[in-house]
Amino acid sequence: MIYVGCHLTVADGYAAMAEKMTGFGGNTFAWFTRNPRGGRTKAVPREDLQALRGRLEAEKFGPLVAHGSYTMNLCSANEQTRLNGLDMLRQDLERMEALPGNLYNFHPGSHTGQGEQAGIEQIAQALNAALRPDMKTVVLLETMAGKGSEIGGTFEQLQEIIERVRLREKIGVCFDTCHTWDAGYDLAGDFDGVLRRFDDVIGLERLKAVHFNDSKNPRGSRKDRHEKLGQGQIGLEAMKRIAMHPALSGLPFILETPNDDDGYIAEIHTVLGWFGG
Ligand code: FE
Ligand code: FE
Ligand code: ZN
């Protein structure tokens, strides 16, 4: 079985996102915790939260997957950018505690010239500063394409972050299919092998969510340009094998494909169709 959905905007509240996703035919969704310019998050009204809980239960939603801001860089060479990032992370995690589902995904960061090792240390430091033992949220490191000075283009880098986090039981991974492909992993030719590698390096038990995207570019291009399902270089057959892989059963699959609402509805329908639903 599978949970599938796409990104929605939080403008009209959380329950409204669940309602919209039900209309799309999906049963999970993602949202950016703040607008792309990185503004502050708003408090969650109690009535909205209650309505959300009701809808998630009635429609049997899977885990929801919040996404941290693109502007949050926990390992920038610029100290002020790092401190702003830590602020965002703390506020976002505070907000997440009020919400059900409790998966929070973010891009580990770009070291902007400091080098991979310094970047890894700073990301882990920020997580150690932000995580508290009483938090219910699972924080997901996203697998990245490895473009520029991005950290997270290899499973090894993600594991190096994880092993430096004291409360590492609260850390998971969000597997972005476009990014891992662009980073060089052969999702189309040998997805079993990719998962074996993931299991050896990180451990499959940390895999909590999937960003389900085809890629405009060839494997290893390090580009990070998402494509609609089946219209990219990974291809529909491989995407189907990924979605139906037993190791990923029950995970939330978030589409981040370049689509309008109708396009997402069609892709959700395609994915659920693979499962006969
Ligand atoms: Fe992302
Ligand atoms: Fe992604
Ligand atoms: Zn991407």
∠ CA 26-178-75, rounded to 5°: 105
pLDDT value at residue 15: 97
The DSSP annotation for 83-114 comes to HHHHHHHHHHHHHHHHSSS-EEEE--EE-TTS
Pairing of strands 252-255, 65-67: unpaired
pLDDT value at residue 38: 54
pLDDT value at residue 90: 97
Measure CA 163 to chain center. Answer: 20
CATH code at position 129: 3.20.20.150
| Tens of pLDDT, residue by residue, the chain (277 residues) | 999 999 999 988 999 999 999 999 999 999 999 876 656 666 788 999 999 999 999 999 999 999 999 999 999 999 999 999 999 999 999 999 999 878 999 999 999 999 999 999 999 999 999 999 999 999 999 999 999 999 999 999 999 999 999 999 999 999 999 999 999 999 999 999 999 999 999 999 999 999 999 999 999 999 999 999 999 999 999 999 999 999 999 999 999 999 999 999 999 999 999 999 7
The helix-helix angle for 14-24 and 46-58 (nearest 10°) equals 30
pLDDT value at residue 44: 84
Domain region containing 75: 3-274
The DSSP annotation for 144-160 comes to ----TTEE-SSHHHHHH
Distance (Å) from CA 189 to ligand 2 centroid = 21
Q: Which residues in 103-135 are b (16+ Cβ under 10 Å) and which e?
A: bbbbbbbbbbeeebeebbbbbbbbbeebbeeeb
Residues within 5 Å of ion ligand 3, judged at the Cβ atom:
224
Distance (Å) from CA 200 to ligand 1 centroid = 24
**How are the residues of the chain apportioned to helix, strand and coil, as percentages rounded to the nearest 5?**
45, 15, 40
- Would you say how long the chain is, in residues? 277
Distance (Å) from CA 233 to ligand 3 centroid = 15
Q: In the block, which residue shows the tokens 């899977």? A: 62
Pairing of strands 226-227, 214-215: antiparallel
Distance (Å) from CA 226 to ligand 1 centroid = 11
pLDDT value at residue 43: 76
Cα–Cα distance for residue pair 190/188, rounded to 1 Å:
6
pLDDT value at residue 101: 75
Q: Provide the 3-class DSSP secondary structure of residue 66.
A: strand
Pick the ligand that lies closest to the CA of residue 104. Answer: 1
Residues within 5 Å of ion ligand 1, judged at the Cβ atom:
142
Distance (Å) from CA 50 to ligand 3 centroid = 32
Distance (Å) from CA 106 to ligand 1 centroid = 6
Q: In the numeric block, which tokens belong to residue 55? A: 């809808």
Count of structural domains within the chain: 1
pLDDT value at residue 11: 85
pLDDT value at residue 39: 61
Cα–Cα distance for residue pair 73/148, rounded to 1 Å:
13
Alpha-helical (H) ranges within the chain are: 14-24, 46-58, 79-98, 116-130, 155-162, 177-183, 191-201, 236-243, 261-274
Per the CB < 8 A criterion, the answer to whether 63 and 252 are in contact is yes
